[in-house]
Structure 1
Amino acid sequence: MDIVLSALTARLYGGLAVAGWRAHRLESAPSMLSSVPPVPAQAASPSPGAMRAGRALLFVALAVHGLLLHMTIFPRDAMVFGFAFALSAMFWLGACIYWIESFFFPLDGLGLLVLPFACVASLLPLAFGGVHVLPYAAAPLFKAHFIIANIAYGLFAIAALHAVLMLFAERRLHMLRGALERNGGWLAGWLDALPPLLTLEKLLFRLIGAGFVLLTLTLVSGVLFSEQLLGRPLTFDHKTVFAVLSWLMFGALLAARQLSGWRGRAALRWVLASFVALLLAYVGSRFVFEVLLHRPVV
């Protein structure tokens, strides 16, 4: 059953990603073959019917992926987890956030990044199934900690992809239009389909603000969980150090944004660096222990 759901999830994500990339390449093909200026993004946008069909298929993919995660992570009263499951849950939540955003903003370009990642992540648990079963998974405090942490991860994952898009779009603004079109018309068309940079920036910091609140709750609930269920205070191992480091980095970014209006490439690179620290806090440490060292870890 797990294999069937994984294959169906990957097929839906992959099909939507391929269809999206083909559409953008077809839209940009005329500008690659001639000197005629490309059609504006608004004129080449998909029809309302195609957009509704795409959202409906993505909703089905999210529903199947969510069912798959629930069945594989929470068997009976236990919990099975690992770095592959963490990545799968992260990009499922990221795809959920993208699906919600797509009702309010034209974010087809973001979908071209989110969907391939979600496709690959949905298959990872099949290849890396050597995970640790947590005996205290039925505890309400741990479930709350787990859910909050994964929502925070999903918000920061989609924020990191927003930052990547904004770096590409900002680079495009600083290059000669003709040179970019000669070297990669499909890329120019992809970036032209994005909302304005100010809109993307507003969305980015909304995601980071919400993620920072949830990451704060994750750290607080982690301390309470460690004290009440494990009988020991929170230890400063590699996971905790990187989690606190990412919390400080995101906090510093929000503070600088609030106090001095920090923006631009430096701020976007700071977002990506903070997300990498967050990945190392849990996904990276579990990958090292489970795959490289073959040691189970809580």
Structure 2
Amino acid sequence: MQALPFAFLAIVFYLGAGSWQGLALLRRVPQRPLLVRGIGLLAVISHAVVVFASLGDLDTLNLDISASASLISWLVALLLLAVSFAKPVLSAAAGLFPLAAVTILLVVGLPASGHREGLTPGIAVHILTSILAFSLFAIAAMQAMLLAGQNRALRHHHTRGIVQSLPPLTTMERLLFELIWAGMLLLTASLASGMIFLDNIFAQHLVHKTVLSIAAWIIFALLLAGHHILGWRGAKAVRWTLGGCALLLLAYFGSKFALEVVLNRP
């Protein structure tokens, strides 16, 4: 791959920024949001070269499992940096940046499937809304895990370490539901565009992805309704969020793994 030097740089930058943020959460080093954003931005720029090299031509994209994972992790990192200027989400970089580095290793180390997707405007809308929804829910999943750690520490009266590094519990919960609302809007758009622009969204090679995505949509809808009507929060909100995100992970990467790796089909 011609983008190999950029892949190496992106991995180093992601691990550097993620490690600093992780150590800052544990209060081993001081909080340096400008440093994390700066190194993270260098990682995202380097990663962009890898992404576009792996995708190929815009009219026929390579969307195999490794290229898709790299694309999504790049969007997650890009969204995380952008949102961090308005919302306190930068703590999620401690987990999400190293994951992005892993996806770069995959796209560099695994051979491309050779299958390329023809891209019409309608299909492009469906793909874009799908990966943006997944990216937002990935950030929400990391936010939920941080919230779970914060809840557990407070229940055991541990007021040092991660509790001192994170925003107040109410702010963390509010941010989690804001991410879920944004992700739900995009997931709804993804499902709607799939029904409109795909020939048969319940075709044999799509049915598992469709069913799991709809199940995730229902879980998130019930969570938002439960939060608004019944005041669901805390551990219950975390469990429902992680459950919905797990279904989306299976919907996208589980189906790709089964088709491309197990069945050896594009």
Q: How high is the TM-score relative to the length of structure 1?
A: 0.80
User: For residues 103 and 261 of structure 1, do their structure 2 counterparts lie closer, same or farther at Cα, with a shift above 3 Å needed?
Assistant: same
Q: Hey, which bits of structure 1, 4+ residues long, moved more than 6 A?
A: none
- 1:165 equivalenced with 2:146 (yes/no): yes
- 1:70 equivalenced with 2:52 (yes/no): yes
Q: Sequence identity, in percent?
A: 31
Q: Do the aligned partners of 2:72 and 2:135 also contact (CA within 8 Å) in 1?
A: yes
CA offsets 1:130-155 (integer angstroms, 9 cap, x no match): 43523422x11111111111100100
What aligned pairs does 1:49-198 form with structure 2 within 5 A after superposition? 50-75=32-57, 77-131=59-113, 133-137=115-119, 139-177=120-158, 188-198=160-170
Match of 1:221 in 2: 193
Q: Which amino acid aligns with 1:191?
A: V
The number of aligned residues is 263
Superposed displacement of residue 107, structure 1: 4.5
Q: Please give the alpha-carbon distance, in whole angstroms, between the structure 1 residues aligned to 2:192 and 2:36.
A: 39
RMSD, aligned α-carbons? 2.2
What aligned pairs does 1:236-255 form with structure 2 within 5 A after superposition? 237-255=207-225
Q: Please give the alpha-carbon distance, in whole angstroms, between the structure 2 residues aligned to 1:116 and 1:171.
A: 24
- 1:264 equivalenced with 2:234 (yes/no): yes
Q: Please give the alpha-carbon distance, in whole angstroms, between the structure 2 residues aligned to 1:95 and 1:233.
A: 29
User: For residues 135 and 199 of structure 1, do their structure 2 counterparts lie closer, same or farther at Cα, with a shift above 3 Å needed?
Assistant: closer
Q: Which has the larger radius of gyration?
A: 1
Q: Please give the alpha-carbon distance, in whole angstroms, between the structure 2 residues aligned to 1:135 and 1:211.
A: 25
Q: Please give the alpha-carbon distance, in whole angstroms, between the structure 2 residues aligned to 1:177 and 1:103.
A: 29
User: For residues 267 and 3 of structure 1, do their structure 2 counterparts lie closer, same or farther at Cα, with a shift above 3 Å needed?
Assistant: same
User: For residues 23 and 223 of structure 1, do their structure 2 counterparts lie closer, same or farther at Cα, with a shift above 3 Å needed?
Assistant: closer
Superposed displacement of residue 128, structure 1: 3.0
Q: Flag the structure with more relative contact order, 1 or 2, with Cα contacts below 8 A and sequence separation at least 6.
A: 1
Superposed displacement of residue 165, structure 1: 0.4
Q: Secondary structure at the match of 1:133?
A: coil
Q: How high is the TM-score relative to the length of structure 2?
A: 0.89
Moved more, 121-130 or 280-289: 121-130
Q: Please give the alpha-carbon distance, in whole angstroms, between the structure 2 residues aligned to 1:106 and 1:282.
A: 28
Structure 1 gaps, min length 5: 29-43, 179-187
